[in-house]
Amino acid sequence: MNRPKHGGNPSWAATVAGCPPSLILDFSASISPLGPPSTALAAIKLHIDNLTNYPNPDYPELCQAIAAHHQIPARWVLPGNGAAELLTWAGWEFSKLNTTLLPTPAFGDYWRSLQTFGTRIIPRSMMMDDGEIGDLDFALRHLPTEIPHSLGLIVNNPHNPTGQIWSKETILAYLSEFDLVLVDESFMDFLPPTEQQSLIPFVAQYSNLVILRSLTKFYSLPGLRLGYCIGHPDRLRRWKNWRDPWPVNSLAAAAAIAVLGDTEFERSTWDWLAEARSGLFDGLKQIAGLHPYPGAANFILVRSDRSVTELQTKLLEQHQILIRDCISFPELGDRFFRVAVRTLSENDRLLTALRSVN
């Protein structure tokens, strides 16, 4: 079995660890350990009889629930079969432009989406000469002047894999420079409302702006495959006409409607993450040879003084723990890894294992 390019592959990890996949403690996938919420499970059970019917291809109840959650009109919402499906249609639009800029390191599925349709991509590295990681302004400090028109931009906020959060003002300053800007806010839910830097309130002002969201990470529902985007209704109608009908199954839609109203789960997640992330960051910082980067999401990027491939293998063989190597991010390579923030006891287990093998 080949080394995975993404996190969340306990089957591969189990072949290295020599144990069943169920025994792998997975820190490679940035999924909340608190879910799925009971409201999601109850909604799935309640709507199980809907499996005998096709869902409404317009998903009016789901669109209205998402719209109410963000206080926007429902016509500005398009649900999808995970954020990845909607990213595909964004890739088709980007391919019609002259060039698309991609700050790197970048989530691998951006490359998949853009390259599928032959988009001309200009990577804009965030890496500085001293090997440290810069920010969005550093990556976009000199916009290309040799390209006369039709520029695209993909921004991830909070950024994956660094965890950086950029202010609304930072991103808004670039909107006039591009014909299409996709802001992937898949991890924004992990910030309390007072700390979020979402551009959703600005979509009506900028027809070139599209916001991508995921419901699978915060609510721990990756198997249901559910995401949505927010953008100008004309653009969303085009995307809807391009894709297959019924992309969201009826149980996923029911679960999404339920969790979007689950304010208790939201509060418990924000309370858990603030304590758990702080403790994990401090613990990593105290281990010799490890250099964690502060971030706003439910994961932490770590620079290592030793080979991460070697470290990953030892953690699997000796402790059945899987961390996310960053080999698939060319700018980071074998000296960086990423770990999800999990429960306090699981985080302690990871720290103990890292101290023993480092």
Residue by residue, DSSP assigns 25-44 as EE-SS---TT-S-HHHHHHH
pLDDT of residue 3: 65
Compute the half-sphere exposure of residue 77: CA atoms within 13 Å on the CB side of its CA. 23
Question: Is 103 strand, coil or helix?
Answer: strand
N-terminal to C-terminal alpha carbon distance within the chain: 26
Residues 278-287 pLDDT 10s = 999 999 999 9
Amino acid residing at 174: Y
Instruction: Compute CA distances 142 → 101, 136, 149, 153, whole Å.
Output: 12, 11, 16, 14
3-state secondary structure 328-340: CCCCCEEEEEEEE
Q: How many angstroms separate the CA atoms of 65 and 71, rounded? A: 10
Task: Please identify which residue in the block is written with the tokens 């390209």.
Answer: 147
Rounded to whole angstroms, what are the CA distances from 338 to 12, 131, 190?
17, 17, 17
The pTM of this model reads 0.94
Cα separation of 180 and 165, whole Å? 21
Q: What is the pLDDT of residue 156?
A: 96
Backbone angles phi, psi at 317, to 5 degrees: -70, -35
User: How far is CA 305 from its chain centroid?
Assistant: 26
Backbone phi, then psi, for 11, in 5-degree steps?
-65, -45
> What is the per-residue pLDDT across 241-251, written as a single tens digit (0 to 9) for each?
999 899 999 99
Pairing relationship of beta strands 321-322 and 25-26 according to DSSP bridges: parallel
Task: For Cα atoms 80, 253, 69, give the angle at the middle one, nearest 5 degrees.
Answer: 85
Arithmetic mean of pLDDT over the chain: 94
> Of the candidates 187, 180, 186, 189, which has an alpha carbon nearest to the alpha carbon of residue 239?
180
Residues in the chain where the model's pLDDT stays below 70: 1-8, 144-148, 358
Model confidence over 21-51: pLDDT tens digits?
999 999 999 999 998 999 999 999 999 999 9
For residue 9, the Cα-to-chain-centroid distance in whole angstroms is 16
Query: Nearest Cα to 299, choosing from 199, 158, 109, 133?
Result: 158
- DSSP output for 114-157: HHHTT--EEEEE-B-TTS-B--HHHHTSS--SS--S-EEEEEES
Spell out the domains of the chain, with CATH numbers in brackets. Answer: 10-35+264-357 (3.90.1150.10), 38-262 (3.40.640.10)
Residue 5 pLDDT: 66
pLDDT at 10: 84
